[in-house]
């Protein structure tokens, strides 16, 4: 198994290009199932999760052409030849549930394996399911699969999500584009990836209002056409690399970065001691002086502080001049990076959904294990400032969501290498 070796101490200076958003891509790709005409996505990141979604779409009968080295995907779905998303693929990636809505909306049938639990919590799909029932689908859960049918098509309705789930909002929005009549979805998620999905669906001919607010109104149409759509910037990769020069010192320009994608995070990063400058096409980040200030964080749905940047923020705050409290409200088991950071000398106590981080003077390199995607990058952030060598194992988690992490960081002066076995 590959590992990443980081030797701490180098300040970061240079430019990092930010890729297209993995999470946007994982909901845009299934949207291709809604139309007989091709959907072309540009600015696609080259990640293992994108390969997994490609494999899933191909298993359903899509033709996926990967162009420009994977930067562009052209997805044609003349016909959905198989309506079952098998366990073998779904278990690898929870976002697979996103094919359910488009298949059900187009053909009135879909069978999708239940995703099951995952490392960062139970993550049920009950909101997706009750939303589809509200749209008139008949659901039957058996043999570990969701069997969904809508023989007369989905019917527009008003449905209020009990929680603003990102995945459920995306699934229901996509499906409602082909429902009969008007669908009003209330208490929806407002993440930039949902705004991006709405933009793409509109380019395909959908009638949608309200993206970026908590109510979506969708006027169903008979069919959708093809489109070409550029995937939005990855705000989590952006936030991660904004944090890098604050932990190591130095100055980094994040190409393609926009503050409106990471507002709540930027406010906290500034409170911790970052200087963030905006240019027309980038953000430039450096640290004000040598001190990292403690800050309290509470993860929330957008536009609150994103749960996907909590682990990285914890790595930074281990070196703060005082005590910070991090509260995780989105996932029930998302502090698995804490024990690994403790092995590097951090002082962290976890009680339920709260982590109390007392700043220490320095971290020490250690062998550590990546437990999930965002946890693994937090260990690399910590390794870049720790004394000596940090060896991160299970780096396949990183390959799911960070494109060319070693190349991007070493171009700015980090001592980081990947060792393949
Ligand atoms: C998406 C992101 C993930 C991010 C998360 C929250 C993708 C591919 N992934 O995940 O990176 O961390 O948003 O910003 O876009 N829940 C239910 N029932 C449901 C659905 C969700 O109880 O039917 C719960 C989950 O267990 C979790 C919380 O709601 O505790 C948030 O989940 P959700 O917003 O759906 O996240 P994902 O779409 O899975």
Looking at residue 368, the DSSP 8-state letter turns out to be: E
Task: Mention every residue, 6+ apart, whose C-beta is less than 8 A from residue 393.
Answer: 1, 3, 367, 368, 369, 370
Cα angle, residue 23 at apex, residues 18 and 27 outer, rounded to 5°: 135
Return all residues near 133 (Cβ < 8 A) that are at least 6 apart. Answer: 139
Q: Whose CA is nearest to atom 11 of ligand 1?
A: 308
118 is catalytic: yes
Name the residue among 378, 298, 294 with its Cα closest to residue 338: 378
Q: Catalytic one among 25, 118, 200, 412?
A: 118
For residue 167, report the distance from its CA to the centre of ligand 1, in Å.
6
Listing DSSP states for 113-154 in one string gives E----BTTB----HHHHHHHHHTT-EEEEETTEEEEE-TT--
What lines the ligand 1 site, CB under 6 Å?
A: 23, 26, 94-95, 121-128, 163, 165-168, 307-308, 330-331
What is the DSSP-derived secondary structure letter of residue 161? Answer: -
Q: Summarize pLDDT for 201-250 with one digit per residue, the tens.
A: 999 999 999 999 999 999 999 999 999 999 999 999 999 999 999 999 99
Question: pTM for the full model?
Answer: 0.97
Q: Which residues contact 280 (CB under 8 A, 6 or more apart)?
A: none
Q: Which helix (H) or strand (E) holds 75?
A: strand 72-76
Domains, in order of start, for the chain: 3-19+234-419 (3.65.10.10), 22-230 (3.65.10.10)
- The pair of structure tokens assigned to 76 is 């044609």
* Separation between Cα atoms, residue 17 and residue 15, nearest integer Å: 7
For 314-351, what is each residue's pLDDT tens digit? 999 999 999 999 999 999 889 999 999 999 999 999 99
- Residues with Cβ within 8 Å of 124's Cβ and at least 6 positions away in sequence, in order, are none
Nearest CA to ligand 1 atom 30: 331
The angle at the Cα of 235, spanning 263 to 416, to the nearest 5 degrees, equals 120
pLDDT digits (tens, 9 = 90+) for 268-277: 999 999 999 9
- Cα separation, 242 vs 305, whole angstroms: 15
Tell me the per-residue pLDDT of 141-181, one tens digit each, with 9 for 90 and over: 999 999 999 988 999 999 999 999 999 999 999 999 999 99
Measured in whole angstroms, how far is the alpha carbon of residue 60 from the centre of its chain?
A: 24
């Amino acid at each position: 198994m590959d590992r990443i070796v980081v030797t701490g101490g180098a300040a970061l200076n240079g430019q990092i290009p930010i890729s297209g958003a993995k999470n946007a891509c994982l909901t845009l790709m299934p949207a291709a199932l809604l139309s007989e005409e091709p959907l072309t996505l540009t600015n696609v990141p080259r990640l293992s999760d994108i390969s997994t979604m490609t494999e899933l779409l191909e298993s359903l009968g899509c033709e996926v052409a990967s162009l420009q080295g994977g930067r562009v995907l052209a997805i044609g779905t003349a016909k959905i030849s198989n309506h079952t998303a098998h366990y073998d693929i779904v278990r690898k990636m929870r976002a697979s549930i996103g094919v359910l809505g488009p298949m059900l909306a187009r053909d009135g049938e879909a069978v999708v394996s239940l995703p099951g639990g995952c490392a960062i919590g139970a993550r049920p799909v009950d909101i997706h399911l009750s939303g589809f029932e509200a749209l008139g689908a008949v659901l039957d859960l058996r043999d570990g699969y969701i069997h969904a049918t809508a023989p007369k098509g989905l019917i527009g309705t008003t449905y209020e999500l009990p929680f603003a789930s990102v995945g459920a909002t995306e699934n229901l929005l996509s499906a409602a584009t082909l429902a009969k009549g008007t669908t009003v979805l209330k208490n929806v998620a407002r993440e930039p990836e949902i705004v991006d999905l709405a933009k793409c669906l509109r380019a395909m001919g959908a009638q949608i209002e309200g993206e970026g607010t908590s109510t979506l109104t969708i006027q169903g149409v008979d069919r959708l056409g093809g489109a070409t759509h550029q995937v939005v910037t990855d705000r989590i990769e952006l936030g991660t690399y904004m944090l890098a020069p604050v932990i190591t010192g130095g100055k980094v320009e994040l190409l393609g970065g926009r503050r409106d994608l990471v507002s709540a995070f930027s406010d906290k990063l500034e409170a911790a001691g970052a200087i963030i400058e905006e240019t027309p096409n980038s953000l430039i980040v450096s640290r004000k002086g040598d001190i990292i200030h403690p800050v309290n964080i509470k993860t929330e749905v957008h536009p609150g502080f994103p749960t996907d940047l909590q682990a990285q923020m914890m790595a930074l705050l281990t070196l703060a001049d005082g005590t910070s409290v991090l509260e995780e409200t989105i996932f029930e088991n998302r502090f698995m990076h804490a024990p690994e950071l403790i092995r590097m000398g951090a002082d962290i106590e976890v009680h339920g959904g709260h982590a109390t981080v007392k700043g220490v003077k320095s971290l020490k390199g250690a062998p550590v294990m990546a437990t999930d995607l965002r946890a693994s990058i937090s260990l690399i952030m910590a390794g870049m400032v720790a004394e000596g060598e940090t060896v991160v194992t299970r780096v396949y988690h990183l390959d799911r969501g960070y494109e060319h992490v070693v190349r991007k960081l070493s171009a700015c002066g980090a001592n980081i290498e990947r060792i393949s076995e």
